[in-house]
């Protein structure tokens, strides 16, 4: 196992500087081997390519941690049912993936490396197909918008009423397909804990180049029908067994933390929760007053606003989230949950590791922002 892990990581290190080319080659090869798979994807492949690479990097980071990797692959397999993926598709994906890595690995590609990648992919595909076959729930859930509120020019709150309650845990995310952008599935995180009426609340910020986010902020309307995929993610808190929890959220990366806090607020006793909630300016902290009201009634919760570019505001820490959080030390023995843009997650996790935070105490999800 250790040799396989080493060979995979070493060969991927050679390929990583060419990841955009790897992704283009992979999808070209896949659609050549299995033309029917082209129908599973939207016309615009840009985001899908970046998502593939995030998945690959995430799997490679966890390849020697089966206790974490297998649950992730099981979730991915269940989620992929919404595409109508069948076993034959996995075979074509494996062939295309190995061909793409081989093309850009150069002299680093040897028979031993090829065997290591083939073995690893077989484990991945088996875990995903077995989880998909064992899931007797629906491939997706239907729901409709019952509330659309624009908080600012680039931010909206949308509430969805599913036909049947979606069985997510507070902090998990789901994939959604919306009528404005057919086949462009995107990952969104409910900002509320599961409720008796099943309503799911989403906070969506329009991002530059974001086909789906801009359509939802500007053009979604009550009555729109959504498709919602299987829940995924590991930003959850076991309130009875968890140590104290450090939450680090940038922008709408707040939503998984807000769902967890919403759930914990039902109980009198909880682990201590310290939330650092960051944005460039005070206006970015759109939910701060609500969070502070919750904290007033729940002594286990502490909210620390963090502003990167608004030095005149009092009552907040100033700097990046990575800088501010590590000023407080290494947070030894705390569970650390991080959510935000990929660049914010990278910067924060890297700085915490340097400060002495243990890697196995840090959790973040790979797909939550597109």
Over the stretch 258-302, which tens digit does the pLDDT of each residue have? 999 999 999 989 999 999 999 999 999 999 999 999 999 999 999
pTM for the whole thing? 0.80
Burial degree of 215 (CB within 10 A; 0-12, 13-18, 19+): middle
pLDDT at 44 over 60: no
Label residue 20 by pLDDT band (50, 70, 90): confident
Whether residue 57 has pLDDT greater than 80: no
Residue 329 scores a pLDDT above 70: yes
User: Sheet holding 335-339: strands in order across?
Assistant: 317-318, 301-307, 273-279, 245-250, 335-339, 362-363
pLDDT at residue 226, as a whole number: 97
Residue 151 contacts residue 36 (beta carbons within 8 Å)? no
CA distance linking residue 60 with residue 206, whole number of Å: 31
CATH of domain 245-363: 3.40.50.80
Quote the CATH superfamily of domain 3-134.
Answer: Globins (1.10.490.10)
For residue 45, pLDDT beyond 70: no
At CB < 8 A and 24+ separation, what contacts does 67-74 make? 68/234, 70/127, 71/234, 72/234, 73/124, 73/127, 73/128, 73/131, 74/127, 74/128, 74/130, 74/131
Q: What is the pLDDT of residues 145-184, one digit of tens each?
A: 999 999 999 999 999 999 999 999 999 999 999 999 887 8
pLDDT of residue 47: 56
Q: What's the CA gap between 149 and 138, in Å, rounded?
A: 29
305-325 pLDDT, tens digit each: 999 999 989 999 999 999 999
CA–CA dist 338, 207 (Å, integer): 20
Please, which pLDDT band fits residue 49 given cuts at 50, 70 and 90?
low
141-232 to CATH, choices 1.10.1370.30, 2.40.30.10, 3.50.50.60, 2.30.110.10: 2.40.30.10
The answer to whether the 3-134 and 141-232 domains have the same CATH topology is no
Q: Which of 279, 313, 50 shows the shortest CA–CA distance to 155?
A: 279
pLDDT of 368: 47
Residues 6+ away with beta carbon under 8 Å from 144? 160, 161, 222, 223, 224, 225, 226
User: How is the chain split into domains, by residue range?
Assistant: 3-134, 141-232, 245-363
pLDDT at res. 30? 87
The rounded distance, in Å, linking the Cα atoms of 325 and 336 is 11
Rounded to an integer, what distance in angstroms lies between the CA atom of residue 15 and that of residue 25? 12
């Amino acid at each position: 196992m250790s040799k396989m892990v080493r060979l995979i990581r070493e060969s991927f290190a050679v390929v990583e500087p060419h990841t955009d080319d790897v992704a283009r080659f992979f999808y070209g090869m896949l659609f050549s081997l299995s033309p029917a798979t082209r129908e599973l994807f939207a016309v615009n492949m840009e985001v899908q390519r970046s998502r593939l690479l995030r998945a690959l990097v995430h799997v490679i980071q966890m390849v020697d941690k089966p206790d974490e990797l297998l649950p992730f692959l099981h979730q991915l397999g269940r989620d992929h049912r919404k595409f109508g993926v069948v076993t034959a598709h996995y075979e074509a994906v494996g062939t295309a993936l190995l061909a793409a890595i081989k093309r850009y690995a150069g002299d680093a590609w040897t028979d031993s490396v090829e065997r290591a990648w083939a073995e690893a992919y077989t484990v991945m595909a088996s875990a995903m197909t077995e989880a998909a076959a064992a899931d007797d729930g629906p491939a997706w859930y239907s729901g409709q918008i019952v509330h659309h509120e624009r908080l600012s020019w680039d931010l909206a709150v949308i509430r969805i009423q599913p036909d049947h309650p979606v069985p997510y845990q507070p902090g998990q995310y789901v994939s959604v397909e919306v009528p404005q952008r057919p086949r462009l599935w995107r990952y969104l995180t409910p900002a509320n804990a599961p409720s008796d009426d099943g309503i799911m609340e989403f906070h969506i910020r329009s991002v530059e180049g974001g086909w789906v986010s801009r359509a939802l902020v500007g053009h979604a309307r009550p009555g729109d029908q959504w498709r919602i995929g299987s829940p995924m993610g590991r930003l959850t808190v076991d309130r009875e067994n968890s140590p104290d929890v450090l939450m680090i959220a940038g922008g709408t990366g707040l939503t998984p933390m807000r769902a967890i806090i919403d759930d914990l607020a039902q109980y009198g006793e909880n682990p201590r929760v310290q939330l650092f909630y960051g944005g460039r300016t005070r206006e970015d902290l759109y939910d701060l007053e609500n969070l502070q009201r919750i904290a007033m009634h729940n002594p286990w919760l502490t909210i620390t606003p963090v502003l990167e570019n608004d030095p005149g505001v009092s009552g907040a820490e100033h700097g990046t989230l990575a800088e501010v959080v590590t000023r407080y030390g290494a947070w030894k023995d705390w569970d650390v949950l991080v959510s935000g843009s990929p660049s914010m997650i990278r910067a924060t996790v890297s700085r915490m590791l340097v400060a002495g935070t243990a890697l196995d105490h840090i959790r973040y999800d790979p797909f939550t922002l597109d």
